[in-house]
Amino acid sequence: GAGVSQSPSNKVTEKGKDVELRCDPISGHTALYWYRQSLGQGLEFLIYFQGNSAPDKSGLPSDRFSAERTGGSVSTLTIQRTQQEDSAVYLCASSLAQGGSPLHFGNGTRLTVT
Amino acid sequence: KQEVTQIPAALSVPEGENLVLNCSFTDSAIYNLQWFRQDPGKGLTSLLLIQSSQREQTSGRLNASLDKSSGRSTLYIAASQPGDSATYLCAVKNFVGGATNKLIFGTGTLLAVQP
């Protein structure tokens, strides 16, 4: 597609349930990022994939959060045993491999944990 | 640890005014700096990217400058329009271990352009 695609656009889940968020990056983009944006807060880095290198997981807030990137393309962010404080907009971005390339963001998934 | 600050947090101007948004960062060893806009309920749209070796970039009515040594960037918007109303975010990419790394974002400036 022309841009970064995220699904679902909205997700409401009960506390304690697991959720999966999906990101389809722009074709040919080898770098993929997940960020979280909470109400009134800035963007919080979660995880970064670059090609076949080991991902930078330094931003994941707890071991309930994990992410995969299969085949160097689609990525899935999984949150296990969701808590109310996980409610936020989860944004995915991709870029070309070169460090100087701009990031292109999807519209995000708005997660609400009740 | 890199910290990015944006001032002001919110700004309201009448249509037609020229305006400047400010971004400062604490660690000058950046690889590049990128300005984004975010409309309500949407993702981020890239506006301008300045490499660390550059001083400024221009796109239409937008001009972004970078002064790495002082840890500052400005986004200049000429002849503002109501459609410019959005949150503007700056973000820096650092060198880490000889390689580039994640973008670190400021908290944004909420701009309202009054018709």
Banded pLDDT at B58 (limits 50, 70, 90)? very high
Chain B CB contacts of A4 under 8 Å are: 43
Chain B CB contacts of A23 under 8 Å are: none
Q: What is the DSSP string of B30-44?
A: EEEEEEEEE-TTS-E
Q: Which of helix, strand or coil describes residue A72?
A: helix
Distances (CA, A) of A87 to A25, A39, B45, B56: 23, 9, 23, 37
Cβ separation of B43 and A48 shorter than 8 Å? no
**Average pLDDT per run of 10 along chain A, which is 114 residues long?**
90 98 94 90 89 88 94 93 96 83 92 97
Cβ separation of A102 and B100 shorter than 8 Å? no
In the predicted structure, residue B103 carries a pLDDT above the cut 90: no
Cβ separation of A99 and B93 shorter than 8 Å? yes
Read off φ and ψ for residue A103, nearest 5 degrees. -90, 140
pLDDT at residue B96, rounded to an integer: 64
Mean pLDDT of B44-55: 93
Instruction: Give yes or no for a contact between A60 and A47, defined as CB atoms under 8 angstroms apart.
Output: yes
Chain A, 77 to 106: residues with Cβ < 8 Å from chain B are 91, 93, 99-100, 102-106
Q: How far apart are CA B43 and CA A87, in angstroms?
A: 17
Please name the residue of chain B whose CA is at the shortest distance from the CA of residue A106: B43
Banded pLDDT at B69 (limits 50, 70, 90)? very high
In the predicted structure, residue B85 carries a pLDDT above the cut 80: yes
Please name the residue of chain A whose CA is at the shortest distance from the CA of residue B99: A99
**How would you class A28 by CB atoms within 10 Å of its CB: exposed for 0-12, middle for 13-18, buried for 19 or more?**
exposed
Banded pLDDT at B94 (limits 50, 70, 90)? confident
In the predicted structure, residue B101 carries a pLDDT above the cut 80: no
